[in-house]
Amino acid sequence: MCNIVVGGQFGDEGKGKIISYMCLKDNYDIIARGGVGPNAGHTIVHNGQEYKVRQIPSGFLNKNTKLYIGAGVLINPDVFLDEISKFNKFNIKERIKVDFQCGIIEETHRVRDKGDENLREKVQTTGSGCGPANEDRIKRVGKLARDIPALNEFLCDVAMEMNDAIDEGKKILIEGTQGFGLSLYHGTYPYVTTKDTTASAMLSDVGVGPKCVNDVIVVLKAYTTRVGNGLFWNEMDKNKKEKADNKSGKLLDELKISEKLSKIEEKGTVTGRARRVAPFDFELAKRSAKINSATMLALTNLDRLFDCAGVRKFNDLPEDAKKFIKIIENEVGVKVKLISTGREYSDTIDLR
Ligand code: IMP
Ligand code: MG
């Protein structure tokens, strides 16, 4: 059995929170991380303690789960080793494996990322060196994990281990990073990251084929946020904008959401930069659900718009929140099966 979790907006949808809930609830044998690399930060809250990960899989809370990083992912060895020692109490060292073909971020990549005017000022990258490292990888001059002695003890053939585990009937979760709108192919180019970010890309990152997939869970925040430059989707095209504005505008007026949105302040996990905030974008959600082949949606941060902090049963939600969820399901055409009502992993409504 193999499930995939991906971001449906611009990253920071709360994938870390959803994955930490699923890893404890569903008991996966393996959780594998795909995506670009340490430009992504996931925040996990477990019994009041906050953990931020940029390199190791967010599913680390469950000590019975093996943790893998797929070949498509870039590794910054310093960040990787630091996270392993920081979260030592979870025995990460004993159960984490890195594909021998993962790309490596070197100091020069970070210098290039931060020093390039186009990347720094126009694209406003995270400065973590991911773009230049992928550039070198594409030029076939990049370093790989197998070239780094400090990573030697963690190396394995992640792709084959994953496929063997699937053949043996084990339970696998593939965790995506970033979000649909940041995809190099399908996102808001040129304000994007340096790879595709859809479910197909995550499969390719870890080396698993499409026939193995059971559920694709697209995570959506109850509003839209973006860190760094680039348009929100509904600003891209005038027709789309009018359609999206009318729909969300009417709904937002009805549910009095605009006022709450104006009070939301968030900061990026990796960069600490303020996130830009906009209403839920139905066009973006629909498009990302389609292109990801979503089988279910996970809706996060519902408590920021409605009075429902910590609610764990659908029937205990306020009527307006229920209405909002139904409208999303109708517009996007996919059921909302997981609802997050707080930062703690257990503040979750599970309708699966
Ligand atoms: P890069 O991936 O560091 O090259 O940055 C390219 C763009 O993607 C910038 O706008 C970043 O802020 C954004 N970005 C990359 N990774 C993430 C993420 O995990 N969450 C949110 N934004 C991201
Ligand atoms: Mg993040």
| Residue 246 pLDDT greater than 90, yes or no | no
| pLDDT recorded at residue 2 | 98
| Residue 250 pLDDT greater than 80, yes or no | no
Q: Is the CB of 341 under 6 A from ligand 1?
A: no
Residue ranges near ligand 2 (ion) with Cβ within 5 Å: 12, 41, 269
Mean pLDDT taken over the chain: 93
Q: How far is the CA of 195 from the centre of ligand 2 (A)?
A: 16
Mean pLDDT of 176-190: 96
Using 50, 70 and 90 to split pLDDT, how confident is the model at 240?
Answer: low
**Burial class of 189 by CB neighbour count within 10 A (0 to 12, 13 to 18, 19+):** exposed
Q: Which two tokens stand for residue 336?
A: 């909302």
| Residue 64 pLDDT greater than 90, yes or no | yes
Q: Which two tokens stand for residue 223?
A: 């509003």
177 φ, ψ (degrees, to nearest 5) = -125, 175
Q: How far is the CA of 39 from the centre of ligand 1 (A)?
A: 6
Q: Is the CB of 194 under 6 A from ligand 1?
A: yes
Mean pLDDT of 270-274: 86
Amino acid identity at 286: K
Q: At what angle do helices 238-255 and 319-332 cross, to 10 degrees?
A: 160
pLDDT digits (tens, 9 = 90+) for 126-148: 999 999 999 999 999 999 999 99
Q: Is the CB of 123 under 6 A from ligand 1?
A: yes
| Residue 243 pLDDT greater than 80, yes or no | no
Residue 262 or 171, more confident: 171
Q: Is the CB of 161 under 6 A from ligand 1?
A: no
Which of 193, 219, 233 is the best mutation target for the ligand 1 pocket, counting ligand atoms within 8 Å of the beta carbon and taking the most? 193
| Residue 168 pLDDT greater than 80, yes or no | yes
| pLDDT recorded at residue 245 | 56
Nearest CA to ligand 1 atom 21: 11
Mean pLDDT of 290-307: 97
Using 50, 70 and 90 to split pLDDT, how confident is the model at 277?
Answer: confident
| pLDDT recorded at residue 31 | 98
* In the chain, alpha helices (H): 15-26, 77-86, 92-95, 107-115, 117, 130-138, 158-167, 199-206, 238-255, 257-261, 282-291, 319-332
pTM: 0.95
Is 281:9 a contact under the CB 8 Å cutoff? Answer: yes
Q: Is the CB of 130 under 6 A from ligand 1?
A: yes
Distance CA 149, CA 181 (A): 36
Look at 111-120, 149-158, 227-236 and tell me which has the smallest mean pLDDT. 227-236
Cα pseudo-dihedral 15, 41, 38, 71, rounded to 10: -10
| Residue 191 pLDDT greater than 90, yes or no | yes
pLDDT digits (tens, 9 = 90+) for 335-351: 999 999 999 999 999 99
Distance CA 352, CA 344 (A): 19
Amino acid identity at 168: E
| pLDDT recorded at residue 220 | 98
The 3 state secondary structure assigned to 79-115 is HHHHHHHHCHHHCHHHHEEEECCCEECCHHHHHHHHH
Q: How far is the CA of 40 from the centre of ligand 1 (A)?
A: 7
Q: How far is the CA of 245 from the centre of ligand 2 (A)?
A: 26
Is 313:351 a contact under the CB 8 Å cutoff? Answer: no
Nearest CA to ligand 1 atom 22: 11
| Residue 11 pLDDT greater than 90, yes or no | yes
| Residue whose entry in the numeric block shows the structure tokens 């990152």 | 205
Distance CA 102, CA 104 (A): 7
Q: Is the CB of 178 under 6 A from ligand 1?
A: yes
pLDDT digits (tens, 9 = 90+) for 202-235: 999 999 999 999 999 999 999 999 988 887 755 5
Nearest CA to ligand 1 atom 9: 125
| pLDDT recorded at residue 242 | 55
- Catalytic residue positions? 12, 42
Nearest CA to ligand 1 atom 12: 228
Q: How far is the CA of 53 from the centre of ligand 2 (A)?
A: 9
| Residue 241 pLDDT greater than 70, yes or no | no
**Which ligand is the nearest neighbour of the Cα of 16?**
2
Q: Which atom of ligand 1 is nearest to the CA of 229?
A: 10
| pLDDT recorded at residue 24 | 96
Fold for the domain defined by 2-106+141-350: Adenylosuccinate Synthetase; Chain A, domain 1 (3.40.440)
Mean pLDDT of 158-164: 98
| Residue 89 pLDDT greater than 80, yes or no | yes
Which of 33, 121, 227 is the best mutation target for the ligand 1 pocket, counting ligand atoms within 8 Å of the beta carbon and taking the most? 227
pLDDT digits (tens, 9 = 90+) for 16-53: 999 999 999 999 999 999 999 999 999 999 999 999 99
Which of 6, 15, 17, 39 is the best mutation target for the ligand 1 pocket, counting ligand atoms within 8 Å of the beta carbon and taking the most? 39
